Amino acid sequence: MMIWDAHCHLSGVPGRTPDERMQQLIGYADRMGIERLCVFMGMTWSYDPSPEDMRRQNDDVLAALENWHDRAFGFVYLNPNHVEASLAELDRCVRDGPMVGVKLWVARHCNTLELDPIVARATALKAPVLQHTYIKATGNLPGESTPMELAELARRHPEAVLICAHTGADWEVGIRALRGCKNVSVDLCGFDPTAGVTEMAVRELGAERVLYGSDAGSRSFASQLGKVLGADIPASARKLILGENFKRLLMPILRQKGVRL
């Protein structure tokens, strides 16, 4: 059973350097039988990073990947409040570098037009775009996106490969919002292991659109794996969610980069 974790971070993990933190992450991943990790964002985060901060955070990930290319992928962290700098960073880290996707967090709502050139460039590079989403009863951050907003973006970019991070966390709403957007997959990470989420995602979206991720290090690999291993779904669906789907989404850019798995 191949397990690829679509959503990991260097924060929340002990270690003075990106490499030390990767060692820790890999050590825990080994204990859980996780073959590959996808890592994004730096050792310390900011909601609305300046171009310099973006580069610094992406440099952290590049450093983290340096010794773990056989175990980890990286997504470039971009900020749509700095479109030109984001496009340059996309070129540096993905087109000309080892990263294979884009991470967008909470700097700007993802339905705004500023995202269009970033998503278009990522799509041209065959890079998936993973967008953080949450629906908080306590109120979202000023620039924090919802799955409903991601659905708007998806409809503007039907060729893009989009990943709805956290399924909106309020997953009963998030899954509904994305049912009609066939180019959006959901990742199951970063919220409590509430029973039923995986069953509903498989029922409403199809197993092919559901990805395992952990949100480690702030979340446990175990609690998030439990969502998949504990779900009442067919074995074939479990296999897709644990790794096959993420691999399928990455294969176009991996092939383009000449990577053979």
232, 26 contact by CB (below 8 A): no
Stretch 177-216: interaction string toward other proteins, x if CB under 8 A: --------------xxxxxx--x----------------x
By CB under 8 A, name the one of 98, 117, 206, 252 that touches other proteins. 98
Minimal distance in Å, beta carbon 158 to other proteins?
A: 28
Q: Does 11 bind other proteins (CB under 8 A)?
A: no
Residue whose CB is less far from other proteins, 84 or 139: 139
Cα–Cα distances in Å, from 25 out to 39, 127, 219, 245? Answer: 10, 24, 12, 22
Binding mask 213-232 for other proteins (x = CB under 8 A): ---xxxxxxxxxxxx-xxxx
- Total of chain residues touching other proteins, rule CB under 8 A: 59
Binding other proteins (rule: CB under 8 A), the pick from 17, 33, 113, 179 is 33
Which residues lie closer than 8 Å to 219 by C-beta, 6 or more apart?
A: 189, 190
Cβ 70 to other proteins, closest distance in Å? 4
Question: What is the rounded distance in angstroms from the CA atom of residue 69 to the CA atom of residue 98?
Answer: 9
Of residues 34-93, those binding other proteins (CB under 8 A): 35, 65, 67, 69-70, 73
Only segment of 80-88, 111-119, 204-212, 251-259 that touches other proteins (CB under 8 A): 251-259
The Cβ-side half-sphere exposure at 31, using a 13 Å CA radius, reads 8
End-to-end alpha-carbon separation of the chain, Å?
15
| Bridge partner residues of 164 (DSSP) | 131, 186
Q: Which one of 22-30, 50-58, 107-115, 203-211 is the stretch in contact with other proteins (CB under 8 A)? A: 22-30
Measured CA to CA, the distance from residue 174 to residue 162 in angstroms comes to 14
Could you give the 3-state DSSP secondary structure of residue 242? helix
What phi and psi values does residue 242 have, to the nearest 5 degrees? -70, -25
Token pair 């995202």: residue: 115
Pick from 23, 81, 111, 112 the residue near other proteins by CB under 8 A: 23
Q: Does 234 bind other proteins (CB under 8 A)?
A: no
Smaller CB distance to other proteins: residue 113 or 195? 195
How far is Cα 227 from Cα 199, in angstroms, rounded to an integer?
9
| Residues counted in the chain | 261
Whose structure tokens read 């050139």?
Answer: 117
Note the residues at the interface with other proteins (CB under 8 A).
Answer: 1, 3, 12-13, 23-28, 30-33, 35, 65, 67, 69-70, 73, 98, 100, 134, 136-138, 169-170, 172, 191-196, 199, 216-227, 229-232, 238, 254, 257-261
